[in-house]
Amino acid sequence: MTRTLRESGILWARQMKKLVRIPLLLFFALAQPLIFLLLFSQVFTNLDRLPGFEYDSYLQFLVPSIVALTALNSAFQSGIGMVTDIESGMLDKFLIAPIRRSSVLLGKVFADATRSAAQATVIVLVSLLMGARFATGIPGVAAMTVLAALFGIAWAGLSNIIALRTRNGELTMIVGILITFPVLFLSTAFMPSILLPEWLDTVAKFNPITYIVEALRALVNTGWDWTAIAQALGVTGGLAVVTFAGATRAFRKAIE
């Protein structure tokens, strides 16, 4: 256990160094969600007049969705890094070292989680400046970053599966972009459940995004809704287990 932690820690540190070394990449990864935060909160601002919309403002409603969008964006970049490592020979370097195979993937997962958490914090800070209020205060924001990190891991696993199966960075990126918006719009991310058409509301109930967004939304708007948090942890954690198992399988197959 300590050995795995030590090994994946070294690889985590590498990812962190790479991340801060190209600040432009971080900036642009955040730029799109921030633009959405600004635009959506303006365009849809009058939604709060609709009967059934029970939040103080659309901004209050939107912040968790943007946190989820940001995490999705960076999660779908995870696989691209995997392809780059294969192409550049870095993966060979890791495989030739006397470390556990699982440490390679774990280091990446930890890095993805850290990145999602950091980006969630930035989104929260910007929305604070825009006038959003957090019902659960600083502990709530901390809980949000943890949930965002778990959410990031879950979807980064999927990105790595695609990357390891196709070994094509562009394809991995395109599939990621293609998935992002449908999964967000087929959830309660942009419209409360009660205002969704019936079929979509049904679809949203089977969409893991709905659960994370609802838990985050409670933290922002109403308080510690333990049922929502437990559901989010269960669904997102379950998804993370599934995608990580899939990524591990794809990884083992790729390096065999």
Partner 1 sequence: MALIQVDELVKVYPGGVRAVDDISFVVEEGEIFGFLGPNGAGKTTTIRVIVTLLKPTSGRVAVDGIDVVADPEPVRRRIGYAAQFIGVDDDLTAMENLVMQGRLHGLEPREAQRRSHELLEVLQLVEVAGRRAGTFSGGMRRRLDLGQALVHGPRVLFLDEPTTGLDPQTRRALWEYLRELNSRGVTIFLTTQYLEEADALATRLAIIDQGVIAIEGTPAALKRGLGGDAITVTLPDDAGPDATEQAARVLERFSDTGEAARFDRSARVFTAEAASRLAEVVRALDGASVKVARLEVSEPTLDDVFLRHTGSRMRVEESKPPSRLRMFGRGR
Provide the minimum distance between the beta carbon of 151 and partner 1 in the complex, in angstroms, as a whole number: 26
Nearest to 58 by CA among 183, 180, 195, 198: 195
Nearer to partner 1, 14 or 133 (CB): 14
CB of 173 to partner 1, least distance (A): 16
Nearest distance from residue 82's CB to partner 1, in Å?
12
- CB contact set of 133 (below 8 Å; sequence gap of 6+): 56, 60, 220
Question: What are the residues binding partner 1 (CB under 8 A)?
Answer: 7, 10-11, 13-14, 17-18, 21-22, 86-99, 167, 253-256
Give the DSSP H or E segment for 139: helix 137-166
Three-class DSSP category at 94:
helix
The nearer residue to partner 1, 198 or 256, going by C-beta atoms, is: 256
CB of 5 to partner 1, least distance (A): 13
Q: In this structure, what DSSP letter does residue 46 have? A: G
As a whole number of angstroms, the distance between CA 41 and CA 27 comes to 21
Per the CB < 8 A criterion, the answer to whether 22 and 44 are in contact is no
Of 17 and 49, CB closest to partner 1: 17
- Kindly tell me which of 18 and 205 has the beta carbon lying closer to partner 1: 18
